[in-house]
Amino acid sequence: MQGSLNNRRFSRYDFDGFFVGFEICGGIGNGNEFAPVAVLANCNVGDVTLEPMLCTQKLRTPPLQVATDKGHCYVSEHRSGAACDVKVTSLTCGKTFIPNEKKRISWDSVMRMDANLRDLFLYEAFLYYNPLLLVTMMVWLWGINLWVFLQSTVSYAKVFDLDQNHLSHKEIWKCSTWMTIIVPTSMTAYLYLYSHGEVSLAASQPVLLYILVAMILIFPFDIFYLSSRYFFLRTLLRIAFPLQPITFPDFFVADILTSMAKVFSDLERSVCRMVNKQVATIAWLEADSVCGSHSVAIPIVLVLPYIWRLLQCLRQYRDTKEKNCLFNALKYSTAVPVIFLSALKYHVLHEKWTTLYRPLWLLSSVINSLYSFYWDITRDWDLSGFSRIFKFTKPSVVSNLFYGRQWIYFWVIGTNFILRCSWTYKLSAHLRHNYLTLFAITLLEMLRRFQWIFFRVENEWNKITRSGIQLTEIQREEEKLLGSNIHDV
């Protein structure tokens, strides 16, 4: 029996308060097959005990079928005090074990598992396609922004300093249509192949999709809107390295990236699992895994868009000496403690988290939400004079885009406040496992950013218009003076 115990391999995974155990069974006749059997135990980490028993029949785990002869089997138990009702978590049979084999579970096996454990595998599939689905949604919304600007007096081409070859709203929608076709098709192929036991082919689907997206972005030939693609890539490069004067497109795109911080975090997790060959496996569930939920890369990627925007503000202050740039930089700095205090949950004792770090996280979240809301209204949109917003009787520079539609301002200010508060929830690394809730909040944040774009671009257009009026008046005054015979120099 001791020899069999030496061959045994038991793996433990701690996922969001649940304890999951897996055993790998190797067949006598086929050393390359394995059949993991698992039941989710809704309890914390406890002791593991072993009890010997005699196995005389085949162990079935669809679609794999592992044959065993009369040998020792072991029932592994998780015990977490009297409160833990579920004890049997795995069953090991056979004499031959493959130490380097990947732990895979078929779709049928997943559907027979506990609902919470099944959610782990649906979460994995969701993780690969969630970022690209949200990017697709943002492209659709950007096309709507351009269409609305086209119907108004706001010239977005002048605001962004675009040439005549810039993409129209129809071309943006054409791109988003292709994305809407390709991304769900890849996701459907992944689920179909996985459910039919073609795990390797299923694992290749998100990898091929990510490679395709990267190739389209960097493709050097003059097809698929080369100038627009390179304009976008140059803007991203300028955002990451703000070594030159900041233009409106630079900080406009950087602001949008802050709304997509969770998208970048999921992209990093997905690429990590692809690089480490963990797609369609459960290896990433291990807490200490390089692609696990405790990785320090998660808060680092989440905070990057805010750091970039902060550096832009500091660069802008260096160029203009305007104090508002420093206050704007302070706004983005308030997101840093929200992200890193949340990540501390995985690296401190539970008691210390609840008594010290969680209250600090809540406080920093409130500060960040209120500060960001105030800045949206008074600076980004220039809507500080509420009497001018709701009681104006003539078109003014306050709003030409939505003149006469007062309810829009009530709506945009109210929803902006609510969504600013909920957004801090999504920036919190320790809440990332509630993936459906996070997806909904991310989608709502994109809708908030979608309506933010209208007022931010219009505010910039109003500044350009006012500047143009002032320059025209100065030019006319100069012409008047030059036309006179009397000049007082």
> How distant, in Å, are the alpha carbons of 24, 32, 52, 336, 454 from that of 4?
13, 19, 10, 51, 68
Of the ranges 165-174, 441-450, 480-489, which one carries the lowest mean pLDDT score? 480-489
Which pLDDT score is estimated for 488?
36
Burial class (CB in 10 A: 0-12, 13-18, 19+), 310: buried
| Local confidence band at 279 (pLDDT 50, 70, 90 cut-offs) | confident
Whole-angstrom distance, CA of residue 432 vs CA of residue 421: 17
Structure tokens that stand for 21 in this block: 């155990």
Average pLDDT over residues 222-231: 89
> How distant, in Å, are the alpha carbons of 372, 391, 454 from that of 402?
23, 13, 9
Helices 261-275, 199-218: inter-axial angle, 10-degree rounding? 120
Percentage of residues of the chain with pLDDT beyond 70: 62
Query: Do the strands 47-55 and 71-79 form a parallel or antiparallel pair, or are they unpaired?
Result: antiparallel
Which pLDDT score is estimated for 49?
33
Residue 148: partners with Cβ closer than 8 Å, 6 or more residues away: 401, 454
Q: What does pTM read for this prediction? A: 0.72
**99-114 confidence digits (pLDDT tens):** 333 344 445 555 655 6
Nearest to residue 423, comparing CAs of 342, 345, 480, 360? 342
**71-98 confidence digits (pLDDT tens):** 333 333 333 333 333 333 333 333 333 3
Residue 344 has pLDDT above 50, yes or no: yes
The per-residue pLDDT of the chain, averaged, comes to 72
